[in-house]
Structure 1
Amino acid sequence: MPMTELPLEKAFMLIEPGPVMLVTTRDHERNNIMTITWHMVMDFTPKIALTTGPWNYSFQALTHTGECVLAVPAIDLAEKAVSIGDCSGCEVDKFEKFGLTPLPAASVHAPLISECLACVECRVTDYLESQGIFVLQGVKAWIDRERKERRTFHANGDGTFVVDGETVNLRGLMEDKLPPGV
């Protein structure tokens, strides 16, 4: 069957990035959470890029404090993650509203989220204003190895999501190219 044209404004749906993430910030003694799907791993250190802008309440905290936590929710938190993205932290305490537990981070003031599978403490190293891209450097990582639900979920860009499934192990093809410890 031949290919058919896809409206250009929907092309991003074909290459939507990694899992849905929750970004926590802390500014003026106030914690906040935003949901983000537009992010990208840039290297193994890890350096991570994410896109947001001044329309987002968390934007001010990111620019003011220069730090955040990237929290990775599993599929059991999908409805909460979407709902977090549908309200503003300037109007509601999202930790309280969604029953999430902030935990102190080791290197940044933004909190970890206890209910998430993993968290990465980050510092902003650059902001590409013309693109709305924050470049983050991970400084400490955490994982809940005892968490039973470990499947992450990925946005399709149209309100639907894909849930991680079977893992295929092809390490044997890449062993000499993997970074140490992977």
Structure 2
Amino acid sequence: MALKSLPLSEVYALLEPGPVVLLTTADKTDRANVMTMSWHMMMEFTPPLVGCVVSEGNHSFKALRATKECVIAIPARRLATKVVKVGNCSGRDFPNKSGADKFAAIGLTPRPARMVSAPLIANCFANLECRVVDTRMVARYNMFVLEVVKAWRDPAQKNPKTIHYQGWGRFAVDGRVITLKSGKA
């Protein structure tokens, strides 16, 4: 088999780390915002630590840096169109102080979180309330380390399928699950 050179600008599509999620924030005036995010990774099991990259130009970056709180909401496949709509607009496009108009315009339902000021998204099958615990990589890489302080799951959403970004508007959907013997019982 002959290998073909791949442009370096396309490498990210091969290594997307996990499901596409929605990141919610609330700035110091409690204006809520939501953005689509796929550049994240689990860093530790206990306590659960998540690394995420948020572009410095995003409204969410400023809010996350100022408040050190957010929610990672995990949508199922049925929300894919709304997830793309969130990714294709900016919080600056929605001047309402509460941010509720962006959620309403896209058809997402914000709900109060228990431990952070950013809202949960009721439409998602899971929500993770997070606090920033490490900002040492923010200045250089826009990477925040978050600790999950409260987790929620919607029991009505059975066997949700997540979506995974592959670049240029293409997404893969979770498929069949297999179970293999593990070192742990």
The answer to whether TM tops 0.5 is: yes
Contact 1:76 1:149 in 2 (8 A): no
Which residue pairs with 1:150 in the alignment?
160
Of 99, 105, 112 in structure 2, the residue corresponding to residue 97 of structure 1 is: 105
Which residue pairs with 2:35 in the alignment?
34
Q: Partner of 2:64: helix, strand, or coil?
A: helix
Q: Partner of 1:125: helix, strand, or coil?
A: strand
Deviations 1:103-130 (Å, cap 9, x if unpaired)? 1111001110000010000001122110
Which residue pairs with 1:69 in the alignment?
71
Any stretches of 5+ residues in structure 2 without a counterpart? 95-100
Deviation >2 Å, runs of 4+: none
Any stretches of 5+ residues in structure 1 without a counterpart? 177-182
Contact 1:75 1:163 in 2 (8 A): yes
Which residue pairs with 2:119 in the alignment?
111
Cα distance in 1 for partners of 2:163, 2:109 equals: 21
Cα distance in 1 for partners of 2:150, 2:176 equals: 28
TM-score (structure 1 length as normaliser): 0.92
Contact 2:30 2:117 in 1 (8 A): no
Letter in 2 for 1:124: V
Cα distance in 2 for partners of 1:29, 1:158 equals: 33
Cα distance in 1 for partners of 2:79, 2:73 equals: 11
Contact 1:22 1:36 in 2 (8 A): yes
- State the Cα distance separating 1:149 from its structure 2 match: 6.1
Cα distance in 1 for partners of 2:150, 2:140 equals: 29
Letter in 2 for 1:89: G
Of 50-59 and 70-79, more deviation after overlay is shown by 50-59
Identity %: 47
Q: Aligned pair 1:173/2:182, yes or no? A: yes
TM-score (structure 2 length as normaliser): 0.90
Which residue pairs with 2:25 in the alignment?
25
Contact 2:113 2:120 in 1 (8 A): yes
